[in-house]
Amino acid sequence: MNKAVITVVGKDQVGIIAKVCTFLAKHEMNILDISQTIVQDYFNMMMIVDASKVEETFGNVADELDALGKEIGVNIKLQHENIFNKMHRI
């Protein structure tokens, strides 16, 4: 399975999760785990998604998510999970 981590950070507002999830559904990315908190009005979300059915290149999807983030006014990053696994797991 090709897992990726999505992080969304920015000022809280209505509809952030809705917009991100719509995007993911459109790209056939299945959500495996979500954790989300609000700290002092700041929205902080981490998602682990299954990206194995995505047809576009990883870089393109990352760019589109970045653009979506700019549209909403938050910072969205898509990264392959291996960078975290490698760094934090022996």
Partner 1 sequence: MINTFEVNETNKMIEQENLDVRTITMGISLLDCMDSNIDKVCENIYHKITTKAQDLVSVGEEIEKKFGVPIVNKRISVTPIGFVGSSSCHSTQDFVKIAKALDKAAKATRVNFIGGYTAVVSKGMSPAEKLLIESIPEAMAVTSSVCSSVVVGSTKTGLNMDAIKLCGKIIKDTAELTKEEDSLGCAKLVILCNAPDDNPFMAGAFHGVTEADCIINVGVSGPGVVKKAIEQSRGKDFGELCETIKKTAFKITRVGQLVAQEASKKLDVPFGIIDLSLAPTPAVGDSIAEILEEMGLESVGAPGTTAALAILNDQVKKGGVMASSYVGGLSGAFIPVSEDQAMIDAARAGALTLEKLEAMTCVCSVGLDMIAIPGKTTESTISGIIADEMAIGMINQKTTAVRIIPVIGKDVGEEAVFGGLLGYAPIMKVNEYDCSKFVNRGGRVPAPIHSFKN
Q: What distance in Å separates the CA atoms of residue 39 and residue 49, rounded to the nearest whole number?
A: 23
Segment 19-48, which members bind partner 1 (CB under 8 A)? 32-33, 35, 37, 44, 46, 48
Site for partner 1 in 69-88 (CB under 8 A): 77-88
DSSP secondary structure code for residue 33 in this structure: E
Q: Where are the beta strands (DSSP E) in 18-61?
A: 30-39, 42-50
Q: Rounded to the nearest whole angstrom, what is the least distance from the CB of residue 72 to partner 1 in the complex? A: 18
Q: Does 7 bind partner 1 (CB under 8 A)?
A: yes
16 binds partner 1, rule: CB under 8 A: no
